[in-house]
Amino acid sequence: MPRFLPSLLLALLVSACSDGDPCSQAPRCDDSEALNCETACTVGPCSTGAIFQECDQGTTCTVVPGDRGDARFYRSRAVCARSLTACDPATAPEPVCEDGRFVTGCGAHHRDIRAFCSQAALYFAKVPACCVTGPGDGGTDAGTDGGTGDGGIPDAGPGPSDAGR
């Protein structure tokens, strides 16, 4: 067996594994599709794993930076933006549900976005009641998310899966 064969096999194995994991490439935009990856959820509603969202209904995929000073919204995200202009979630109207599956409004990343209800807690400080489904625990987390107040958003537990593909 040639000497270089084990090194070649190792290089092929490493490259094959990294290309097959979409989470290693998140957040990103592929044409009109947003890709994000969530390994764990501390506030619901939220789904884990690779989340693909088609940016349609007049939205544009863009990657927005997170707020490094915020324990909940510190991650950069690929979002389906209804407008690329920055907005202020503190002064904007509350987010609203659309078709029972999506939520729209000015998100914590300062963009007017459209997101899955099942991912609402990753984008909005206040999740609309129509997105909170399932039995939940009645919000017994006392409104905390890693020590940061979340406004008492109840943990909804696993809701219906609508995370794209």
- The identity of residue 51, as a single letter, is I
Indicate whether 74 belongs to any domain. yes
Token pair recorded at residue 31: 């044409």
Interstrand relation of 33-38 and 28-30 (parallel, antiparallel or unpaired): antiparallel
**pLDDT score recorded for residue 125:** 93
Out of 99-103, 133-137, 153-157, give the one with best mean pLDDT: 99-103
Query: Domain span at residue 91?
Result: 22-132
* pLDDT tens-place string over residues 46-100: 788 999 999 999 999 999 999 999 988 999 999 999 999 999 999 999 999 998 7
For the chain, the average pLDDT equals: 77
Indicate whether 8 belongs to any domain. no
Indicate whether 157 belongs to any domain. no
Split at pLDDT 50, 70, 90, the class of 17 is: very low
**pLDDT score recorded for residue 20:** 77
Residue 104 pairs in a beta bridge with: 96, 114
- The structural domain count of the chain equals 1
Token pair recorded at residue 95: 């987010």
* pLDDT tens-place string over residues 20-50: 788 999 999 998 999 999 888 777 777 889 9
Indicate whether 14 belongs to any domain. no
Give the torsion sign (CA, 125, 47, 52, 161).
negative
Instruction: Tell me the HSE value of 80 on the side-chain side, using a 13 A CA sphere.
Output: 23
- DSSP string for residues in 44-93: SS---EEEEEE--TT-EEEEE---TT-SSS-S-EEEEEEEEEE--TTTSP
User: Per-residue pLDDT for 150 more than 60?
Assistant: no
State mean pLDDT over 98-123.
93
Indicate whether 73 belongs to any domain. yes
User: Per-residue pLDDT for 2 more than 70?
Assistant: no
Question: Which of 65-69, 79-83, 116-120, 161-165 is predicted with the least confidence, judged by mean pLDDT?
Answer: 161-165
Indicate whether 55 belongs to any domain. yes
